[in-house]
Every structure is written in C-alpha cells, then in structure tokens.
Structure 1
Amino acid sequence: MAEVAPPQAIETDQPPLPPSDQEQQQQQEQDGDVDMTPKGEDSEEQQEAKEGEEVEDEGEKIPEDACETLYLQNLNEKVRIPVITETLFSLFKPYRPLHPVIAHRNVRMRGQAFISFPDVKSANEARKDVLEFPLYGKPIQISFARGRSDSIVKKSDGDEKFDEHKAKRLEEKKKRRRDNPLRQKAQAKLKAEETGAAPAKKQRLQMPDEYLPPNSVLFIQNLPEGTTSDDLREVFEVHAGLVEIRTIPAKKDIAFVEFVDENAATVAKDALHNFKIDGETKMKVTYARK
C-alpha cells in the first residue's frame, strides 16, 4: 500500500492574521497577567485600602466639645470607691490616664467618676474604645466633661492659671448650691422656725363647685348688681321647701339659699342654674361647700 505524504502548507502571499481579542484574553488568563476585575469597579485590594482610609479619617475626627477629661456614668454603685477608681485606672491604662481618678461617696454623685488624659486625642480614643464596656455587670456611659480638670490645667497652664481656674470653679460651685431650689426651701423653713413665723402653707386644690356633693344649701354666684334678698326670694320661693336666703354685704354678687333638705335644694338648683334674674345675666347655682 502506497504511503500518503502529509499535506503541505499552502503558501500564500498574505501575512498571518493577528489573534482576536478573545484569544488574547485567554492567553493572558493562562499566563496569570490579566486583571479579572470588571471595568469601572475597584479590585478587592483597592476597596480594602479605601475602607482603611475612611476608617482612619473617621477616627481622626474629634468632637468640638472634647477636652482632656472624661465623665463616666452608670458605674456599679455597690463597688467600693477605692476599688472602682483602681479598676478604672487599669482599664484606661493603654491611653495613659492621669492620677487621680475622681469618684465621690455622696448620694448625688454615686455611680459617676472623672478621669483625665495628657491630651484630647488620647481622651477621645479612650471614650470611643471603652464606651459601654461591661464593668462589674454595668455598661459604662462615657462623655466629655463640661470643663477641664484641676490636674490638667495645672500641668498644661502653670500655677498662675491654675489658681484662676480653681477660684472660678469654686465660685461657680457656690452659685449652683446657692441657686438650688431644694436648698432655698430648706433655708426658708429653717429661718421661719428661728423667727417663729409660720411657714407658708401650700395652697390646697379645691374641687370645682360643679362637682360638690349634694346638700340642702345652694351657693348662688354671678348675681347682677343691685340684686336683693327679696329678688332672690321671688325667684326661689316658687320651689317648695325654701327656708332662708342669706346675702353677703361685702360681696353683693353672691348669696346662699337654704332648703329643708337635699331633694328640695336639688330641684331648685336644676331649675334655676343659668337663670337670667335680670333678663341678661346668667346666675350660677351650685351646692355650697360644707
């Protein structure tokens, strides 16, 4: 059997075609040189770098009310003061806290403390990192103190500024105590006891006339000027059981009308409330206070 020679390449004068885009991409993928990230999107490494930059920028922002001292709340009141201050100092140790940690035994300041740091940046980092840390079973609430502590002022501004700061702080403290309403009330009571004057009695709230319990005496109000007992008798005697009519010389717009019993008084009250005794002015009729 005759051997068949392999086909020979046909020679042409045309140059070879360049590889298509798809063939180039496939070749690059095989070589490991292609970026598989879709167009318009960042790679995973780029996204992580951007996120890191955003977190860093956010961490550098310090609130406008920031200072070197933090105010701690919601501390466990059952823990003794020396223990809580030592624990707080150890807890904030990575942020270089300054001695002493301030905590008070009085009732008003229980569960609260103040701790200072060398600078505002350290205080801000400590505030963010330790916020709501569960210390002795209670999450710590942290905010910046309203003013700078004595230790910070003395360290950063010197003795002269410290003396001014301390004097101003003590004056503000005295003013707050002086203006405290509870303190003012206690002082007024003590002064009244010393002088023998009776303390001012708190005004008791009275039940409105419309809701008073029934009785045999009616209280008449809003009488027109010039109303006499005879005028009232003429109006009220049409109802059975009238006993007496009493006017008040000092206050001519009121009067009392008495009946034999509650039932007779009730009938007259219901009939004559808002009655215009002079044709214009409505008189108010209620039960009298006992």
Structure 2
Amino acid sequence: MESERLRSHTVYVQNLNEKVNQTDLKSALYAVFSPVGKVVEILSAKTYKLRGQAWVVFESQDAATRAVNSLNGFPFYDKPLRLSHALHASDTLLHRNGDTVDRPTDARLIRKTESQAKEKAAQRKAEGVESNMAPMTRGAQSNGSRTLHVQGLPATTTDTMLRILFEQFSGFEQASLTQSEVGKACVEFQSVEQASVALNGLQGFRLNPTHTLTLSYVNVND
C-alpha cells in the first residue's frame, strides 16, 4: 500500500527538551535535519501526551534513512536525539499521492494544536522573543583563507555531525574536530567565497542553550 511505503519518509524524534518553545524547536530541528535532505514538514506539539516528541517528514526515503543513521544521538538542547522511522505516513505525502488513512488520536492532536502554535508564534514574535540565532556581527572580513575555525561545539559532537552541519553549503570539502581542544574544529571549502558564505550562515548559530557557534578564518600563514 502506498501509505505504508511513505511511512519511511517520516522520522520520529524523541527525547526533545520540553522547555524549548515550539517556534524555536521547529527552527532548530529544521537547521539540524535539512542538511540531510529536503524537509517537507515538521510536526510537534506541547500537549502532555506529545511533549518531547516531533515528526520530521522528508521528500525522499533515502533522506529519512540518512537522518536516522547519522543523527541518532545528536546533542540537541543538551539532550541526545532518539530517532526511528515513524509508524504512520505524513498527511502531506499521503495527500500528494492521492491516498488517505485514518489517523491515530495523537496525530490528530498534533494537527489540532498546529494552528494554536502558529498563533502563539506570531504573538511571541511580536513580543520580541529571541530566535535561534544569537546576536552577532555579520560580514566578517576574509583574510584569504578558505578554511574556517569553529568554536562552541558540544563535547559530544562527532565528525559525522560536524560534516552534516556544514555540507549544506556549496563547496564544502572536509571537516575535522580539533583533537587537542574540545568543542573546536576546522572546516575547509573549495574557495574563499564559499567559506565566507558558510561563516556568515552559521555565525552565532545557537545549537542549544549553552552552545553557540563562533566561526573565524584560519590564519593563512599557519
């Protein structure tokens, strides 16, 4: 059945930090999962039965599989993600393929709370609630280097997690953690311009409440 095949497009996410508001949570989830593949939608709700959980729907089955295999245990707001393939297909994909299925109570509850979450998000935005990006200075001047120095990574970061974070940017070549210093890494791009795009794209990105990325150009004379 088509709906059974589409289930594998959806990743079930558990062990989320329940203190994070829905707007910031979805933004952060998108930032973590979008480098793996095209994200169609992210579902989450902060009701008692559904808190700490989310569903990330990918355009392709391969992307969902990559996410489960590479991001399981990824440190996210001070808690490791627990990922698995969802038991139910996404409504978005079902409708796109002309299929229907009875949704379980939990899934219907997510749909019901989405409109409420959007209203609250608009209210929080109007009140000036901080976004997932910390205050930062854009447009750092390049020194001619195509290699970036990264600081502020959680101690549990792996080379795979680091690569996933940066390979969303064109020209990415390689990334490696600095073995002698916890929370630091070097990321290399094909050109200075491509390195600059990545630096400005992730400068000040808040991975969780205690870890914010700081990027700089590696000294070309080193």
TM-score (norm 2): 0.43
The structure with the largest strand share of the pair is 2
Q: Which has the larger radius of gyration?
A: 1
Return the structure number with greater relative CO, CA threshold 8 A, min gap 6.
2
